[in-house]
Each structure stands twice: as C-alpha cells, then as structure tokens.
Amino acid sequence: MIQAANEPTSDSDAREAVVQCRRLTKVYKKLLASRAKAVRALNEVSLSVRPGQIVGLIGPNGAGKSTLLNLIAGLIFPTDGDVTVCGHPARSIQARQSLGYMPEHPVFLGGYSARATLRYHGALLGLSRAAIADQVDKSIQRLQMQEFIDRPCADFSQGMKQRLALGVAMLNEPQLLLLDEPSNGLDPVGIIRLRDLLKQLQDSGAAIVISSHRLGELEKLTSDYMFMHHGQIITFGDNAMTGRAGQLLVGLESDGPRLAETLLPASKVLEASETELALAVDDPAEVPDIVSKLARGGARITSVMLQREDIEETFLRLCDERGQ
C-alpha cells in the first residue's frame, strides 16, 4: 500500500482534516459476474486534506480519480475502509452540508433558467427564501452570469453550463469543494476568473479537490498533487516532484567530460560536453555542494541553471515509469 505522505498521524490532525480517507478500497463487480471480472478501482488509499488546501488529482484515465471523488462525495460506497468529510461519514447529511460538488458533465433541467436552478439548489440546502436570494445574487456577481441568468438552461453553451455548475457547487460556501474538470469549456477569461475564485475560497479556509487533465492550469493553482495510478496514490504533496527536482546545467570554460568523471558520481551525470554538464538533481539543496565540489576541483564555471520539472513533465515521467 502506498500512503499519502501527509496522512495525519494523530487524532487531532484527523479531527482537523476536511477529508479523511483510511485504507479506502473500491471494487466494482457486476451482479452475478465472476470474481475475476471485478475491477479494483481503488486500493487501500489513505489521505487527508486540510482546510485551505487545494489538492490536484492527476493520473491517466482509469486511475481511480473519479472513484475517489465519488467516494468523498458519498455517491458510492467503499468496499473497504472509510471516508469522512469534516469528521462525518461521507454519505451523512452533516457531511453533505459542508460539501459542494461539480461533476465533469453538468446537467440541468432544460426548462429551468440559471436563476431557477440556483434557487432549487438553495432550497435543497435548506436555506430560507431571503438567504437563497442573497446567495443567488452573490453567485451571479461572482461568476458573471448576468447575461444568461434568466435564459433556459437548454440553450446554454458548455462554458455557461460550467459557470452555472460552479455557482451551484459554491452556493453554500462549502468547506469542501470537489471539482471534476472545472475548466472544461471555459474561455481564457473564465479560466482566470475560476482561478481567482478558487484562491478566494482557499483563503476563506475551504479545502478544494480538483481532478483535471489540464495540468498547466492545476500548476497555477496548487503545488499539492496526487498522482494516481491503478487505484493507488503514487506521490502526494509538494514532494510529488520528489524523485527528481530537475536538471542542473553547469556552463564551463572547458574540460567538461574529465571534470564530470573525476569529481561527480556517474549516476548524477546525464550529459557531459566540453563546455556544459547536465546533472540530475534530486533535491535543490544539493546544488551548492555540487557547484563547490566542481570549483574546488578546478572547474571554471561560467553559468549555473537549475531546470525544475514542471507538472506535465512529472506526469509524463510517472506515467512512463509505470509503463503507461
């Protein structure tokens, strides 16, 4: 079992966590199907998400991201393990009071306008008439829905649907927001607005879990990633980039191959030319040591540049390492 790196270790941490999953397993098995045909979508996943944290769920198709979101949202039951939201079991009414959920393909009643849809969800949340009116106005302002607020949802473009779905999910100012591909169909301005909105929510203490294939967008929002593969979490948190902090490019006046051979371990050297060394760096803290070692060994250094792996490169590397 691979556990999330920041899984809480004490009871107080667990109480503080907005989402707490313990050894969560989900096996899909069709009625009357043999055991061999069962699909293990999630395999003993443990993790916790703190208030104010934005977690990006990444992974190839079929990795278990949607299953994890569905389990946290209480839409499906775990085969084993448990999941709590704000200290309450995921499917409980109390958990749902703290939850906002936006699916990948939002669907609304075609005959309802955006305003009627927001009102409907406000009523489901148990808000009073005045509170609903207040929240609806806020949503309209926040998501710039003025131009289509009274049009029927059947006429909406994908971008309008996404904005309305976000409005619906944020209606109760939830402590936990679960977003599945939130930027689908949004134009660049909409994406920037979404980012600002999520940052605001984060500042107000809400935890946000985003499943997205738009890695560049995720990178602008958070440094906490959870790479999922075959129903397991492979890496979690800022140290997701672990394994490889990046590449250190050291410019030299001359003699690159000899310096690399005599001063550095072979495993570190990716490429060595007369005037440049490309070195693998696991941790940025190693950089001063490498540079001073080279300088002490007589290298005349002209430049030093650390190229960090971005999320897309990390994603591709992790997929590649696992033969995806």
Partner 1 sequence: MRAYELLKETFWRRRYIWIVHVVWLALYVMFWWLYYPDPEEFGGLLFLCGGFLLPLALSAGIIGDDVASGRICVVLTRPLRPGTLFAYRLLGLSLQGAIHFLLAGIVILVLRLVTRKGSTEDLAFWLFLSWLLFNTWAALSTSSSVLVKRSQNSLFLLVAFITIGGVLQILIWNLRNYAVGDVLKGILRYGFPPHTLLRDLGNGEFEEKNLVLAGLHLPRTLVYTAHSLLLTMIYALPGVLIFRKKQFLAERD
Judged by the rule CB under 8 A, the positions of this chain that interact with partner 1 are: 66, 69-70, 73-77, 93-94, 96-97, 99-112, 119-129, 132, 165, 168-169, 180
Question: What is the smallest separation between the CB atom of 181 and partner 1, expressed in angstroms?
Answer: 11
Question: What is the smallest separation between the CB atom of 104 and partner 1, expressed in angstroms?
Answer: 7
Q: Which is nearer to partner 1, 17 or 169 (CB)?
A: 169
Question: What is the smallest separation between the CB atom of 86 and partner 1, expressed in angstroms?
Answer: 12
State how far the Cα of 77 lies from the Cα of 70, in Å rounded to an integer: 9
Length of the chain: 324
Q: Which is nearer to partner 1, 43 or 70 (CB)?
A: 70
Which of 246, 181, 187 is closest to 218 using CA atoms?
A: 181
DSSP annotation of 28: E
Q: Which is nearer to partner 1, 228 or 263 (CB)?
A: 228
Question: What is the smallest separation between the CB atom of 199 and partner 1, expressed in angstroms?
Answer: 23
- Within 13 Å, how many C-alpha atoms sit on residue 213's CB side? 8
Question: What is the smallest separation between the CB atom of 56 and partner 1, expressed in angstroms?
Answer: 18
Maximum C-alpha span of the chain:
77
Q: What is the DSSP string of 60-75?
A: STTSSHHHHHHHHTTS
Q: Which amino acid is present at 36?
A: A
Q: Which is nearer to partner 1, 111 or 323 (CB)?
A: 111
Q: Which is nearer to partner 1, 117 or 202 (CB)?
A: 117
Which of 307, 172, 171, 181 is closest to 245 using CA atoms?
A: 307
Read off the tokens for 294: 């080279």
Question: What is the smallest separation between the CB atom of 249 and partner 1, expressed in angstroms?
Answer: 44
State how far the Cα of 301 lies from the Cα of 156, in Å rounded to an integer: 60
Q: Which amino acid is present at 183?
A: S
Q: For residue 194, how far is the Cα from the chain centroid?
A: 15
Q: Which is nearer to partner 1, 105 or 300 (CB)?
A: 105
State how far the Cα of 182 lies from the Cα of 99, in Å rounded to an integer: 16
Q: Which is nearer to partner 1, 166 or 186 (CB)?
A: 166
Query: 312 near 216, Cβ under 8 Å?
Result: yes
Q: Which is nearer to partner 1, 101 or 225 (CB)?
A: 101
Question: What is the smallest separation between the CB atom of 233 and partner 1, expressed in angstroms?
Answer: 20
Question: What is the smallest separation between the CB atom of 119 and partner 1, expressed in angstroms?
Answer: 7
Question: What is the smallest separation between the CB atom of 109 and partner 1, expressed in angstroms?
Answer: 6
User: Under 8 Å CB-to-CB from 49, ≥6 apart: which residues?
Assistant: 17, 18, 19, 55, 176, 207, 209
State how far the Cα of 91 lies from the Cα of 106, in Å rounded to an integer: 21
List beta partners, residue 229.
232
DSSP annotation of 40: E
List beta partners, residue 84.
20, 89
Q: Which is nearer to partner 1, 98 or 235 (CB)?
A: 98
